Structure 1
Amino acid sequence: MTRSHLLVLAAVTAGMSACGSDAGPATYGSDPTLPERERGLLPSMTIADPGEWGDARPTVPDGYEITAIATDLEVPRQTLVLPNGDILVAEGKGGGDAPKERPKDVIAGYIKAKGTTSVQGGDRLTLLRDADGDGTYEGRHVFAENLNAPYGLALVGDDLYVANQDALVRFDYREGQTRASGEPETVTRLPSEINHHWTKALTASEDGRFLYVGIGSNSNITERGMAAEVDRAMIWEVDAESGRHRPYATGLRNPTALTIRPESGELWAVVNERDELGENLVPDYLTSVREGGFYGWPYSYWGQHVDPRVRPQDPDRVASAIAPDYALGAHVAALGVDFSSPAMGAQFAEGAFVGEHGSWNREEPAGYRVVFVPFRNGRPSGEPVDFVTGFMDDDTTRGRPVGVTVDPRGALIVADDLSNTIWRVAPVR
């Protein structure tokens, strides 16, 4: 079998499979038209089987070239371009402790595992160096190891911050070093019980005073109870000096990547929304994040669209829910975001790149690409533009993009955690 469908289960339980076999159009944009909810005994679940790149490469627009600058990594997730041009790569695979309480959880776990690498997470940071600036990263060093599923990265002056799955930590950093000078200092502990969503996204305010940490929910839609969701589905604001923290924004089911828009200093996020409401619900999204804002989870989605599965309901919270800025499409699993710069070329100068890891909750897969969301007057404007594609070919997936980072010298760095590759996309000079 070339795709991991629920064929055996469907044969045994005829008529009980998920609704929504018609994948329908993509749901994206600033004002998406949302379809009706669709529910069945089980949601659609499909993951294409992994394959090798061989001599193939992902596809990029005319006038751009893509290069594999590092291979054979150990589950690369997010990257950080340092001031001297070195690239730090966070390698790790977390979670795994969430109990599977329903038959769907067991089946979904099997399906999802089919689309992931068999490599164990490195629990480390790897540093890549291009000493002569020719786009070839001939230097490779283990910068730090024995971490706990590191994910988010941020540099503020001489402080390098790493968001492990259980703690925000800090290393001393000096430009040019290839190895951490000592053990990390814990800034603050992060919620890690159950860890249904384990990734901890990270970015820093422009002045470096605050760190923002994305913390995903402990369930799809509170099926583990609200007690499991304390300090979950939100973005923390952490005082970089003291480690004191507070909720900055709430109701974001799984904020998987954070960044600051340079022109305004605004915090932006990509968020993975809830599953099991149909192939075209609910769209994952890109949004600015308002201080004190509530974004709906679990009670509603895309503003005031009530999710009837949640008990008890909370009409007051629903009334306050903010609709996101831009829908990316249902189940694309956006895991990376960064704003562009003019060095990326005129067509891609103003907007945000988004890494879409790819769906499991659709019959027809979605995502598996890097898109560019064009901006105008500080807000998303227009359709998403394919920037890196070709990760999926018919029934085979060769790669799955995660973090995306713009190198100010004019390149997009893409982490691929299926083929364990770091890709570099740059204009042809």
Structure 2
Amino acid sequence: MALKHLIAVVGLSGCSGVLTAKAQSTSTGAACASPIAPQNGAPSVAPGFRVEVVANGLRDPRGIIFDREGGLLVVEQEHGVSRLSMTGNGRCRDVQMVVEDDSLNHGIAFSQDGNTLYASSHSNVYAWDYDASEGKTTSEPRDVVEGMGDDEGHTTRTLLMSQKVPDMLLVSRGSVGNIDLQTLDVTTGVSTIKAFNVGNMTGSAYDHASSGLLLGWGLRNSVGVAEEPISGGIYSVENSVDNIERSGETINQNNPGEELNFHGYLNGTGSDVQGGNYGYPSCFTAWNRSEIPDFGGMTGEAFAIGDQNATVNDTFCVEDRIAPRITFDAHMAPLDIKFNPDGTAAWVTMHGSWNREEPIGYKLSLVQFDGKGSPVELANSTTAATDIVSNPDLSACPDSCFRPVGLAWDSEGRLYMSSDSTGEIFVVTREDGSGIADVSEAADAGENESPTPSGTGGVSTPTETSGAALNLGVASGSYLAAGVAVVGALL
């Protein structure tokens, strides 16, 4: 399919209201409304934190990232990439179009020097020269990675540029269907996370299936990918299967669990799990173990799909496939993960369920890490994730809820979050508006605050918070091995 790459910067109407093109204008100069009331009322917020809407009217915003001049670039799915210029206090000032291309749908990254912008469609990763001082691209697009399939199934291709190893661009590609049997063959490149050296290109694009460093396969749809800042370990959050059956019973309400997976390192540090198989489409992870027929394992342990047989069974799944480091509740749909700078917390967006009888997810959660590269909680924990921002009435979801997608830190330690369902950008801070990169102070503040009235975007008390209470002073914890080495042949 021919791609439309219109590189001219086109100004938009501002950060509040419907975005409309104004040809050849770098900025309209219009200020965003301040404050902006959340579309569906004030979110519930954990004590010590504050959340505000800084932009709305965006078109299906997905991946977000800051450029080196403090502009927030947003992938507007099936539209292109826009840039929000920000004021000193972290609010949106105006919006301009950077790349207009209706094939772009989620992934976005910068080179380490900030001079190259990367974005992805279902089939390709593209690169542009980028001028942050002007907030615009200065070249035609270049193909970097190609051959990632047709526009069907899980079509997002998450991008992450390593900050530990220069020029290594990670690309996550999900499955085509709910149960995709072509993922049994690693050479297809489907359901993988790979890394490509974009500083070592000879002029032609990498073929995705046959090129790149394999970090993991058997990953149904690992939309969120992050590099732990201390050790350089690569983690992802995976969306697991829907409508799963086991021993003739449908067990889809509370199983299988969503996953936080560890994939080794790009810096040469050895790891038994790197490049291994994480189970899909044969093996999954227990969340509510009591609802799984003929299962004797714990939460966080693997079980086989369908009827166990001599080839695919629970023993095979435990011994020959890699277990998640942490398991989340089924159908949460985690879409992004970002670490704070000292590696003591990972923030995860939970996009929310689409076919569960009672909706679940629709929130921003926090997972404690030990500052050395590992989660604090054991792999069988059911309380590893603490809710920070959530929808107060899940019965209204998905139609009348924000749905978190992308995360990005600004230079002041404020955490920004996109919501594709409402076209909003939120910012999460301490109560005084300062950054939360040092989460231990923010967690201790304002424990007894009263809820803020609906619509102001300020601090309110959560109506339902799952997971362990925040204990962000913990610096270390037990580490349960992420899994065992993969052995044996493909099924």
Give TM-score, length-normalised by structure 1: 0.73
Alignment partners' CA distance in 2, 1:224 and 1:177? 44
Amino acid in the other structure paired with 1:257: G
Checking the alignment, whether the CA contact within 8 Å between 2:104 and 2:119 is kept in structure 1 is no
Query: What is the CA–CA distance in structure 2 between the aligned matches of 1:88 and 1:259, rounded to whole Å?
Result: 18
Give the aligned partner of residue 327 of structure 2. 327
**Post-superposition CA distance 1:49-78 (Å, at most 9, x none):** xxx955722222233322211111110011
Q: Distance in 2 between matches of 1:270 and 1:190?
A: 24
Q: 1:167-178, aligned counterparts within 5 Å?
A: 167-178=124-135
- Distance between the aligned counterparts of 2:330 and 2:155, measured in 1? 21
Residues 26-51 of structure 1: CA deviation (Å, up to 9, x unaligned): xxxxxxxxxxxxxxxxxxxxxxxxxx
Q: Does 1:296 find its partner at 2:279?
A: yes
Aligned to 1:357: 351
Equivalent residue pairs, number: 342
Equivalent residue for 1:253?
220
SS at structure 2 position matched to 1:330:
coil
Distance 1:314 1:394, change over 3 A: closer
CA contact (8 A) 2:118 2:127 kept: yes
Question: Greater shift after overlay, 55-64 or 368-377?
Answer: 55-64
Identity %: 26
Name the amino acid aligned to 1:424.
V
State yes or no: 1:232 paired with 2:187: no
Question: Equivalent residue for 1:29?
Answer: none
Mark the CA change 1:147 to 1:172 in structure 2 (over 3 Å): closer, same or farther.
farther
CA 1:73–1:386 in structure 2 vs 1: closer, same or farther (change >3 Å)?
same
| 2:109–2:159 CA contact under 8 A, matched in 1 | yes
1:197 maps to a residue whose letter is H
- CA distance in 2 between counterparts of 1:339 and 1:149 reads 25
Displacement of 1:208 in angstroms is 2.6
Partner of 1:69: 54
Q: Deviations over 1:152-206 (max 9, x none)?
A: 1111122211122210111112332222223211112141225211111111222
Question: For 2:72 and 2:309, how far apart are their aligned partners in 1?
Answer: 46
Distance across 2 between alignment mates of 1:305 and 1:193? 31
Matched residues in 2 for 1:196 and 1:137: separation? 34
Structure 2 distance, partners of 1:276, 1:417, is 24
- Where structure 2 has 5 or more consecutive residues not aligned to the other structure, the ranges are 1-36, 245-250, 265-273, 286-300, 378-382, 433-491
Tell me which residue corresponds to 1:5: none
Q: Does 1:379 align with 2:405?
A: no
Structure 1, unmatched stretches of 5+, are 1-51, 93-120, 343-348
Deviation at 1:248, TM superposition (A): 2.6
Match of 1:189 in 2: 146
2:430 match = 427
Give 2:117's aligned amino acid: L
Deviates more, 1:349-358 or 1:411-420: 349-358
The whole-number CA distance in structure 1 between the counterparts of 2:341 and 2:38 is 29
Q: Work out which of the residue numbers 65, 82, 97 in structure 2 matches 1:126.
A: 82
Q: 2:158 aligns with which of 193, 197, 201?
A: 201
1:72–1:420 contact (8 Å) kept in structure 2? yes
Deviation at 1:391, TM superposition (A): 6.2
- Aligned-pair Cα RMSD in Å: 2.6
Superposition deviation, residue 276 in structure 1: 1.3
- Counterpart mapping for 1:156-175 below 5 A: 156=111, 157=113, 158-175=115-132
Go from structure 1 to structure 2 and tell me whether the alpha carbon gap of 1:225 and 1:150 turns closer, same or farther (over 3 Å shift): closer
The one of 45, 66, 69 aligned to 1:60: 45
Deviations 1:138-159 (A, max 9, x none): 0211111124133111111222
Superposed CA deviations along residues 191-236 of structure 1, whole A, max 9, x for unmatched, are 1225211111111222332111110011112368968992211112
1:340 corresponds in structure 2 to: 340
Query: In the alignment, does 2:253 pair up with 1:268?
Result: no
Alignment correspondent of 2:176 = 218
Cα–Cα, structure 1 residues 305 and 268, in superposed 2: closer, same or farther, change >3 Å? same
1:79-98 equivalence runs, <5 A:
79-92=64-77
Aligned partners of 1:55 and 1:256: how far apart in 2?
Answer: 26
Give yes or no for the alignment of 1:280 onto 2:224: no
Q: Given that residues 304 and 312 in structure 2 are in contact (C-alpha distance below 8 angstroms), is that contact kept between their aligned partners in structure 1?
A: no
Hey, what's the Cα distance between the residues in 1 that align with 2:147 and 2:427? 32
Structure 1 counterpart of 2:474: none
Matched, 1:149 2:152: no
Q: 1:218·1:228 contact (CA, 8 Å) conserved in 2?
A: no
CA-to-aligned-CA distance 1:398-424 (integer Å, 9 cap, x gap): 211111222241211111001111111
Which residue of the partner structure matches residue 111 of structure 1? none
Q: Structure 2 length as normaliser, TM-score?
A: 0.65
Instruction: Specify the alignment match of 1:411 in structure 2.
Output: 414
